[in-house]
Each structure stands twice: as structure tokens, then as C-alpha cells.
Structure 1
């Protein structure tokens, strides 16, 4: 049976009609299925119950319900989960001009926040990056002032780099209950007046530069109780601090190197020193055709005998390290060996030579040359890492997928063997 909601303007009554699903047989439909069954008379429910029901609806459905019910309209003014994106409002990304699409999204957000009381907001997710030619810094400030109040718990900002003629220079948060903060944009000053509840943070600097350096030198002062930190960056010019700031309660650290073909992975090991509690360190770097510092490729000038070590590097809390997109880069071999030698509590080391997989379990797409680089990564593990793994550490090496990746290898380069 398929249920359809019908709104009736008789007080605040919501009814359901039961209609025949095309897949049902005629004999499965009883006479009662043809009738209208009243299931909710909102005037009989306490206001808080109505608000609870309304708050469980997705934003788009909640807005529609507010159009047909006085009780839901009253609840709409303190709807708690504000998620503003193209997907939320069902907008067609291919319709009209980029400016027209952005203007439509901005107008919808403006209307919703204008009719919202500003109280009761628990979640604000704002995808404003596609609106850079429409939105201004002053307008964004007005939106945040309207929605970010003392009771907010989750704040996610996907920002464009410029707003009109003014660049956003600082984000100031005075909400004491924020536990999750997601930011996408260029590094900028972030002030959180009370960060005691903040335990999860994502700083997405993809398409920008300097997010890793910013995190190592600026974040600790505003993240006293942070437990999970995720960082993304596309460009870095490392000037590594002598002693990176420690995050006193950090347990999980994820580093995504987005499109950094010549990134020196060795420096990313300093991030693991930020872990003060027993925790996990995950490094994700995409494959390229051939790493210039490949320790395996015949055309590379990398010298396998001359490897770096930092005597002061010690990590007593690291339990698990996982590297996705492991390749034959000399700097990545150096990083892995440094971690093995300096992490006395390490129990698991996972080296994934592929690009990982999505939420459905399907392998991420890899070009033919990237698959070949993955094979070089396996060879580098055998040559330079496997023999240095202590007996107390479990090493897991994830290789190319026979179904998704190997069919691309019609012709292998010299010295590469599938086995």
C-alpha cells in the first residue's frame, strides 16, 4: 500500500488516504483502503510534541507542512535543522545561468531566515560556495547573526573565497554548545568564545593553500577538547614549526592531500605528534601517473640510500596508522619508516595502494597509469618497509582490485608483474 498525505484546512488536521500501489494485486486492497483515515489532529497535541514532529521532517517537507498547517507554521519559526544547499531545495543545477541559479538559492535562504525567529536552531549547514557572484560578506554576516545562537550544536560553512568586493577575514562564534564545526574555504581567523563542547572539526582547504600549516600553528588555541580533526589541502609551502602544538584530547586525525603531486609526505608525520591521547592517524593522497620522487621508477633520480630521519620525533600514543593511496614516493617511504621507528605504542599499519572505495563498496576510479603506480607502491613496501615492521605491529597491505583495476593493464611497464 502507498500512503499519500492530504492537508485539510479544518483547524489543524492532517489526513492520510490509502491508495492502491501499482504492484499490489486487486485482492490485497480492502474497502478500508478507499477511505480517508484521520491520523493527526494537531490541535489536540501539546505544542512541544507538534514541534518535535515537525523538527524530524527534512527542511523541504517541513516548509511545505508549514504552508498548510497553522500549528506547523508556528513551529516553523523555530525549526532546528537549517540545511541550505542545491540538493535540499531540489534545484536543477543545469537550469538557467550560473548567476540565475545562485540568485535563486540566495533568495530562498534569505526568505527562510527572514521568517525564522532565530531561536531553537541546532544545526546550520550553509553551502554558499556556488554563490560567490551573488552573496556579499555583509549578507553572510546577517545570516550567521540570525541563525547562530547559543543553542547551536553543529555548524557547517562551505564558503566562496570572495563576497562581492570584500573578503571574509574572520569567523567569530559565541555559541557555547557547538560540538561539530565544518568549514570549507581559505584559512582565516576563527574565534570561538567557548570551545569546551567542540569535539569534531573539519577544515576543508581544498582548492586553497596553507590549511595544514594553519592547523599546526593556529587551531590548538580554540580546540581545547577536540577529539576528531579532519584536514584537507591542495597546496602547501611547509615551514614546519619546531614543536607543533598538541591537541590535548585528540584521538582521530585525518589528513587529505588533494591534488598535491609534489607534496613532501615526510612533513605530514609531524601531525601525528599532535595526538596526545591513544588514537588513529589517517593519511590520504591521490595517485598520479608517476611520482617525481619515486623510489622505484627507473626514470626517477630519488636515492634510496639517502633517507631522512628526525631524532626528536617520538609518538607514544599512536595505535593505528592508515595510508590510502600509498605509492612509491620516497617521502612516503621515509614517513612510514619514521613512524615505525618512533611510535612505541603502534599496533596496526594499513597501507592501501588503491584510491579506496565509496560508501557502496565500489572501488574509486583509477587511471591506468595510477594503477601502475599502485603496483610500484606494493614493490616499495616489499623492498623498504616490510622488513622494518616490528613483531608487535600488524601490517596490512591492500592491493589493486582484480575486477576494477587490473583490466586496465593491457600492457605493463618494465619490471611490473601481476601476482
Structure 2
């Protein structure tokens, strides 16, 4: 085991005290407890059983565990079945200039470790570490033994098609104790009849080359699976979640560009997060889904899709978050209702290259509120990076529009982050104030991205190292000033006495218009 720091300092415990060991870099402390070198002397310390010292040793960070094994026979014996093997540049004491030493140090560590006792195994290998595939296979073969519980493998992006995870190491009972598996940037090709991972409760695949059939084999016997995350898996076309995954409650699918269908019959799926290209979503028996986040990478009109399609797909939703890069059409009125939604979050125009169209009518979002009869909280976030709209100050002869009478009887909390002087946004706010008869608080934050409800300068807009405000453009400051003016002129007098109004304008550093901005 590498002695990564000067180990001449004394370490004392109930076994013995070693006062002198070699401080040569990368010395391995390979001696067994009968032949360990150095001048040693015993010292009376706490008289604790060896298994207690082994427990203490297992709780140390890897680097400290290695150091203590270099100077203590008890800890050296403990090291040989150390339960946590976490190999990163930090735990190995490596700097980027020493990246070539990654392989040699891992080899040295595993050479002194027995083939038993590993509970947690983690490899974080960066591109500059230049680890050979054969070495990685041998490390996994040695460390993945019966009783292992957590495996994390993080490889550089180039490895996603170059490295095939050796599925065979999970056979013969070695994979049945694993409850956490996290793979990044590799290929995973389970063979037909792959029957392991029966204890797996959390599976995370990021940048993994795996087809829908192969993923089906992987999870076919994961009866304990509770959480599945699939990110940037470009070979997935159809993702099918079988009904026998009785415990699966959380599914995340993000940026799988070739994916066309997500079909689930898992009966207890309650949380679904989806981000990427539009797909066909078939939930069937998974109608218990209560929390849904949906966002499209490039396609517009996610809000319109949600209000027209989701009531029948997920009728029991209680929390819905929609992320739309842009809305090209106004939100339509619909007959179907979200009968259970209590919390609605809509994020518009977060893609700087495709902001909300200037013709989008924010007042049309009132139809979404109408479709949620038990709604209690509503948050609207609008990116102001390329704000274009018809200002409420544009034509003073045009009165604010009002839509047909309707009530949001249970709506208590409303936040608009990125509130602007768009006439239709002012109209939406006035409509909420008029029809939300149970409203308790209204937050209008004129700075997008400052944080939900973070109104104070110290929280929402702290200075950077350069002394400049973080706001991205002078136009953003100008719009924030106009938005504050719109609040004072059109909204303030409409706020009922029982409603708490919170207004977030430009921070104190932005109040002076000559503030320096990039």
C-alpha cells in the first residue's frame, strides 16, 4: 500500500506502536505480521478487541486506512479485507501530473488486499489516467466478490464504445448481494439468461451502450429494484418496464436521443422524470404516477403537449413540472382535467438560442390553472435572456384583457420568476389575483435565475470575484426596472390585504445604470 505521506509520526492503539517505517514513496508495506520491518515497540493503549479496531479502520478514508496499515500490524491485517475500495486521484493522493501512476498504485493496493470483504468498490478514471482495459478487467475480477454491495465505475467519454463491462464477474452469486450499480461511459452486454442482481435497488446508467433488449435482460430479475436512472444511452429505442418490478417507484430517463417509446406496467411507479426528444409515453397499470417532470431538448410546445395529452396518460398526478425550450403556440383550453394536481411548475424558454416566441400569450396559461381544480401552488419561470414582447407600457389606450369568470379556489401560493413587463404576463397576474380566492402569497421576481423566492441581495445576486453583478446583460437590468414599474402601476393596487406580496427587483449593485457588465 503506498505510504502517500510521511508516516514517521507515531500511531498508537491497543495492538502496538510502530515508531519508524520507511518513508519511501510508493512503499507497499508488504510484510506480514510476523515479518514487518522497522523498529517497533509496544505501548499500552485502549484495550479493545481487534474487531473494534477493524471497524474503526473500515470507517477511515482510503488514504488514512492505507497510512495506518503501514504502521500497524492490526490495521495491516484489517486492510487485507478492507470493505471500501474507492479509487480516485484524490484518494490515491495523485496530482494530474502523476496520472500515469494511477495503474501502478491500484495494482499495488489490490496486491495486498485479499479476495474477500469488499463491500464498496468505486473507480473514477479520467481520460488522462490512460488505464488499459486489461488492467481494469483484472481489478474488477479481483474486487467483485460475494458480499459486495455497491459498484461505481466512471470512465472517460471515449470509453463508452471501447470498454465492455465484463458481465461474467456478476455470475456465480457474486452479483446477488449488489444493491447499488452505477456505470458511466461503457458498454453493458448481458447475455441471454443473465440471472443476477436480485438485491439491486438502485441502477444508474450514464452514457452506457445498451439496447432495450439488453436492458430488459439486466433488470429481468431485479425484483428489489426501486430506482432506475438512464442517461445518454444512445442505443435505446424502446424502454419497457415490466410489471413484476413491484418495488420500482422512481424512473429517470434523460437525453436518450434514439428513444421512441417508454412503456411501463410497473404497478407502483410514482415518480417519473423525462428529458429529451418527444416519445410515446405508455404508463398502463402505472397510473399511480404522482410526480412527473417532462422536458423536451429541442422540440417546442411542451406546455401544450402536457395539457392535451397527460390527463389521460397520468390521471393521478399530484405534482407536474414542465420544461419547455420554447412555446410557439398559446396554451389551449381543454375539457380534460388534472383532478389531483396540487403543485404545478412551468419553466419557459431556458434555451438561449430559442427563447419564448414574442407572440406567446402568457394569459393563455390561465387555461392550465383551470384544468387543475385542486391546485395549491403555481410557479412560472421565464428566461429573460432574449426577452421580446409587447410591453404593457406600449399603447396606453389598450386596456388589460379579462377572460371569462372562473375560480382557482384552492390556489394559495404563486411565484413568477423572471416577471417582465409583457402585457400578457401582467394580465395573467391580475387574473390570478382576481380569481384565486384563497391566495396567501404572491412572489414576483424580476430577475430570472436568482433563485425561487430569494429576494434579498445577499442571496439572489451576490457579487462575483470581479466585483461585477452576475446578471448577464444590461438589457436584463433595463427589463427588470420596467417590470418593477409594471408591478407598481398595474398590480400593487389589486393585491388583496390578506395576500403577502414579495417583489424582487434589480439588486443593489444593479440599481446604478453604469454598473459594469460583460
Instruction: Tell whether the structures are fold-level matches, with TM greater than 0.5.
Output: yes
Match runs of 1:11-410 below 5 Å = 31=72, 34-37=75-78, 38=81, 57=150, 59-60=152-153, 72-76=174-178, 77-78=196-197, 79-86=200-207, 105-106=208-209, 117-120=220-223, 121-128=225-232, 131=234, 135=235, 139-141=236-238, 144=240, 149-160=245-256, 163=258, 168=260, 170-238=261-329, 240-258=331-349, 259-262=355-358, 263-288=360-385, 291-296=388-393, 301-303=394-396, 305-357=398-450, 363=461, 365-403=471-509, 405=510, 409-410=514-515
Cα shift readout 1:67-105 (whole Å, capped 9, x = no counterpart): 59975423343223221225xxxxxxxxxxxxxxxxxx3
Size of the alignment, in residue pairs? 357
Asked if the contact 1:293–1:302 (Cα under 8 Å) also holds between the matched residues in 2, the reply is no
Asked if the contact 1:19–1:33 (Cα under 8 Å) also holds between the matched residues in 2, the reply is no
- The whole-number CA distance in structure 2 between the counterparts of 1:68 and 1:36 is 27
Cα shift readout 1:354-404 (whole Å, capped 9, x = no counterpart): 11336996647432211221111111111111011011111000122235x
Q: CA deviation at 1:153?
A: 1.4
Judged with a 3 Å threshold, the aligned counterparts in structure 2 of structure 1 residues 194 and 114 are, in CA distance, closer, same or farther, namely: closer
Structure with greater proportional strand content: 1
Asked if the contact 1:84–1:127 (Cα under 8 Å) also holds between the matched residues in 2, the reply is yes
- The whole-number CA distance in structure 2 between the counterparts of 1:19 and 1:75 is 23
- The whole-number CA distance in structure 1 between the counterparts of 2:348 and 2:374 is 24
Asked if the contact 2:363–2:424 (Cα under 8 Å) also holds between the matched residues in 1, the reply is yes
Judged with a 3 Å threshold, the aligned counterparts in structure 2 of structure 1 residues 274 and 304 are, in CA distance, closer, same or farther, namely: farther
- The whole-number CA distance in structure 1 between the counterparts of 2:432 and 2:61 is 62
- The whole-number CA distance in structure 1 between the counterparts of 2:427 and 2:300 is 24
Match of residue 99 from structure 1: none
More off after superposition, 324-333 vs 215-224: 215-224
Unaligned regions of 5+ residues in structure 2, if any?
5-53, 84-115, 119-144, 155-164, 179-195, 350-354, 462-469
Which is greater in Rg?
2
Secondary structure, counterpart of 1:75 in structure 2: coil
- The whole-number CA distance in structure 2 between the counterparts of 1:18 and 1:282 is 43
Q: CA deviation at 1:213?
A: 1.2
Judged with a 3 Å threshold, the aligned counterparts in structure 2 of structure 1 residues 335 and 20 are, in CA distance, closer, same or farther, namely: closer
TM-score by structure 1 length? 0.70
Asked if the contact 1:171–1:190 (Cα under 8 Å) also holds between the matched residues in 2, the reply is yes
Secondary structure, counterpart of 1:287 in structure 2: coil
Unaligned regions of 5+ residues in structure 1, if any?
5-13, 44-50, 87-104, 413-419
Judged with a 3 Å threshold, the aligned counterparts in structure 2 of structure 1 residues 108 and 190 are, in CA distance, closer, same or farther, namely: closer
Q: CA deviation at 1:237?
A: 3.9
Q: CA deviation at 1:321?
A: 0.5
- The whole-number CA distance in structure 2 between the counterparts of 1:20 and 1:191 is 45
TM-score by structure 2 length? 0.58
Asked if the contact 1:272–1:318 (Cα under 8 Å) also holds between the matched residues in 2, the reply is no
Asked if the contact 1:295–1:304 (Cα under 8 Å) also holds between the matched residues in 2, the reply is no
Asked if the contact 2:439–2:499 (Cα under 8 Å) also holds between the matched residues in 1, the reply is yes
Asked if the contact 1:289–1:373 (Cα under 8 Å) also holds between the matched residues in 2, the reply is no
CA RMSD of the aligned region, Å? Answer: 4.4
- The whole-number CA distance in structure 1 between the counterparts of 2:366 and 2:423 is 14
- The whole-number CA distance in structure 2 between the counterparts of 1:222 and 1:291 is 34
Q: CA deviation at 1:34?
A: 4.8
